[in-house]
Structure 1
Amino acid sequence: MDEHLYIVTYDIADEKRWRAVFKIMKGYGEWLQLSVFQCRLSPRRHAELIELLTGAINHRQDHVLLMNLGPADKVDPRVVSLGKNFQAIDKVPLII
């Protein structure tokens, strides 16, 4: 599968919208810090996430950044992590 590794960060002005965005993100990635997620996304999941976030935010007050780090199986993120250990998200089997 053609998955890419993304870092998603957001600044949401309203607490209710912030909670909605947080709930969306929990379904798409791993929570790293307040308002920061690491996601491993196929093109389809990426498009779904964009659509959901577009509908959840106020485009004049809020800001969401999706940073594409490259192909998930080939990228080796170079991260300086102080405090908690940073681990790049691995591909895991999805059981339906």
Structure 2
Amino acid sequence: MPEIALFYGIRVTMYYDDHNPPHFHAEYNGHKAIVEIDGVRVIKGALPSKQLKLILAWCVLHQDELMQNWELSKDGKPMNRINPLV
């Protein structure tokens, strides 16, 4: 599961050949969530409130890059790192 970003202790990953809808995995201090890229919403799991706000803001800023990585993962190609939220 490639790490595509890491910021404020939040690790963002994507699996190859993962199920639809397009999404990524976010993990913070033992909390895990799956975030839908298009809908910018948690579809499974939970993060603490502060980290949830950060990851959703990051998702909005990087939706195009996240979708590009989703397509790369579907083709089994290496994914790109995405700039962290600063």
Task: Check whether TM > 0.5.
Answer: no
Between Structure 1 and Structure 2, whose CA radius of gyration is higher?
1
TM-score normalised by the chain length of structure 1: 0.28
TM-score (norm 2): 0.30
